[in-house]
Chain A
Amino acid sequence: MAKFHEQGPRTPVSVSTRVDKVNPKYKSVNSVRALLVFIMAMIGLIPVFVMGITAFKARADVVSVPPKLIFEPTLEGFVFLFTNRAVVAQSRLVEFREAAEAGELNLFEQIALNTGQEITGPSDYVFRLRNSVIIAGLSTIISVILGLFAAYAFSRFEIPGKNDLLFFILSTRMLPAVVVTIPLFLMFRQLSLHDTHLGMILLYTVFNLSFAVWLLKGFLDEIPKEYEEAALVDGYTRLQAFFKIVLPQAVTGIAATTVFCLIFAWNEYAFALMLTSEKARTAPPSIATMLGRGGIEWSAIAAGSLGFLIPVVIVTFVLRQYLLRGVTFGAIRQ
């Protein structure tokens, strides 16, 4: 191995690589690195894994010490998540048992019965999740669209005080957002925006817009202006050139910005807790405060969080090819 630099590898190198990268020493260092990255990824995934198994645990298994890896899975968490329940009175318990034996109860009712409860109605989890989809989705779409036009203007035109404006836009992110919660709360009260979808959409749009403008400007700056100029002399207007030429080339940037804005709006907790109560309450504050009978329903919270992850995962998955594509190889040689 010591003589590698004199003798070279045993087999001819038939891939494109730097000369020292075929040294067995480097190869082993590389596999150690890969292993480390893998271990770190696994450590990072532990919370998600714990959440996943907790969602399927019965109450006793959730709180057992040490935590159980092998247990009997149950849908209890999901039943608790999706329903409101009440304790079945001792006098009616026999009645319920008989109904269960006769097969008159559905799966959810049977699981609830096993814990001595009856289902009184659906919970508001689905409703809250729908609020989250509406608020996060619309605010993301609005921020990306507004951000795209603003970024295009900043990228292409001479605007008086352009740098000051850009700095001002960035400065809106320079203090922790929570600091302004109280003034915002009062303003929202005054404007009747408290606990409304519109209020939350506006709020998240404001917070995401500065980010979207800066991120998209970077991507648009990368697109050579010759493309638009070519379209202009080819007989198109500025707006047509924007839609036909700039937009298709900015997809990577738009996708990345969309995912970031969505994740922010989707995960936002503090404002949602303060500025919504019933009608417009989103999923994050409601999952965290999910309380059961005589204690916190950890399995329900885990199940709720699991459901909460799914939309973001789907969006990211759909846009992944644009996120990973990076720089497109265009017809311009720089």
Chain B
Amino acid sequence: MATIELQRVEKKFGELHAVKPMDLTIEDGEFIVLLGPSGCGKTTTLRMISGLEAVSGGTILLNGRNVTWLHPSDRDIAFVFQFFALYPHLSVRENIVFPLKAQREPNNVIEKRLKDVVTLLQIQHLLGMNPGKLSSGDQQRVALARALVRRPAAFLMDEPLGALDAEFRENMRAEIKQLHIDQKATTVYVTHDQIEALAMGNRIVVMSDAEIKQVGTPAEVYNDPANLFVARFIGSPGMNLVKGRYSEGVVHLPGERNRYQVPSFWRDNLDQASDGDGEVILGFRPEAAQISEDGELSGEVYATDMHGAYTMLHLNINKHDILHLRGTRLVYYPIGTPVSFNLQPSMVRFFHPRDEQAISKEMGK
């Protein structure tokens, strides 16, 4: 299969940077997800890798070969579009063998590959049909078959599940993951859905404002966001972020009695990082809070949402700061109930308010 390497790759539309110069190495067989809000440059990056968009600068290497200025058809990559792009005037069968016809494969090879791929995706029964008549899930299966049948060096997928109904989306997510495990094909997958990214990626590239904000495994970007953007963007809702003032092992948070005793292993780093006025941003995920009667932090219930397995509590700690906490679904919290809670020490993070970067929890950094 293939490695993909982007070196200082950028895209400008006029004066506007759609993608600022970025470096990224995608390992052989990796499933990498480009994640970010719409307009962050993730699709442009994907299209530059495919050759559908010319770069404004930088180099793209595919398996060590410089493909920066190669025609899309000469790059040996397959592209799966959000809206499937199945050729409506061709049958499912003709759609799938279309790339093989371009390579002028002999008929017996075409037949064999077709058979393999339809068996793999279990779409034998669709072969004679017209793509317009299929359900969206089946259309995307056919589009995947068309990509797989060529055995390309890499797969590029642009929000392939974005156009599917919720019911198909869950199934297809598992199917694509299974396919990847099966085929070990290098895959670059673009999505704006962070749940999809966490569920599918070996690594996630979080992008925003035309640049990479963080690259890491799903656990890394979820547990240790590198900056406030990633902290807010990953998770639903995102990380709770409260501005506070640090001094001598205690963070003073908004609200009358909210003082957070910083765990001892954080102190050295916070002492170093918070010189000056001592302002820091405290971050924790909803599940890091444990509701208890003698908790050191407290607030009032502002709203509650039922999420099925748990209840999400929106807690007002003063007029401006609302925190999201995970509560048990067995307890009913009327609006206005005072709730106090503790934070699990290992799940607390700190950020600089000025440069919005995370303060490292490792010693000596």
Contacts and interface: CB of A to CB of B under 8 A. Distances in A.
A167 B237 CA distance: 51
B95 to A, nearest CB: 8
B351 interface: no
Interface string A218-235: 000000101101111111
A224 B83 contact: yes
A252 B146 CA distance: 27
Nearest to B158: A226
Contacts of A236: 73, 102
A229 B98 CA distance: 13
A334 B82 CA distance: 10
B83 A332 contact: yes
A226 B52 CA distance: 10
B84 A235 contact: no
Given A249-B88, A333-B163, A233 B83 contact: no
Given A330-B132, A331-B131, A229 B81 contact: yes
Interface in A227-278: 227, 229-237, 240, 245, 248-249
Nearest to A251: B89
Given A245-B87, A248-B89, A332-B85, A231 B98 contact: yes
Interface in B246-290: none
A230 B75 CA distance: 13
Interface residues of A, number: 23
A322 to B, nearest CB: 12
A157 interface: no
Contacts of A249: 88-89
Contacts of B89: 248-249, 328
B222 interface: no
B72 interface: yes
A236 B98 CA distance: 10
A206 B88 CA distance: 34
Contacts of B98: 231, 234
A230 B79 contact: yes
Given A329-B88, A333-B136, A237 B73 contact: yes
A236 B150 CA distance: 13
B86 A331 contact: yes
Given A235-B103, A237-B73, A230 B85 contact: yes
Nearest to B136: A333
B131 A234 contact: no
Given A229-B79, A329-B132, A235 B87 contact: no
B14 to A, nearest CB: 12
Contact of B79 (A233, A240, A328, A329): A233
A223 to B, nearest CB: 10
B3 interface: no
B103 A331 contact: no
Contacts of B75: 233
Nearest to B81: A226
A301 B266 CA distance: 103
B297 interface: no
8 contacts: A227-B85, A230-B81, A233-B52, A234-B73, A235-B150, A329-B132, A330-B132, A331-B132
Interface of B: 50-52, 71-73, 75, 77-79, 81, 83-89, 98-99, 102-103, 131-132, 134, 136, 139, 146, 150, 163
Given A233-B72, A245-B87, 6 more contacts: A230-B87, A232-B73, A233-B77, A236-B73, A331-B131, A332-B86
Interface of A: 224, 226-227, 229-237, 240, 245, 248-249, 328-334
Closest 3 CB pairs of A and B: A330-B88, A235-B102, A331-B86
